[in-house]
Amino acid sequence: MKVNRYKKFEYTPRYYDERKERIQMMQESYNKLGQQTPTEQQAYLRDRMRNAWQQNKSYSKQTRSANIRLIVILFALLFAVYYIFGSVDSFTAEVIDLETYVEPQTRN
For the entire predicted model, the pTM comes to: 0.41
Q: DSSP readout, 26-92? A: HHHHHHHHHHS-HHHHHHHHHHHHHHHHHHHHHHHHHHHHHHHHHHHHHHHHHHHHHHHHHHHHHHH
* pLDDT, averaged in runs of 10, over the chain (108 residues): 78 82 88 80 86 83 90 95 78 65 53
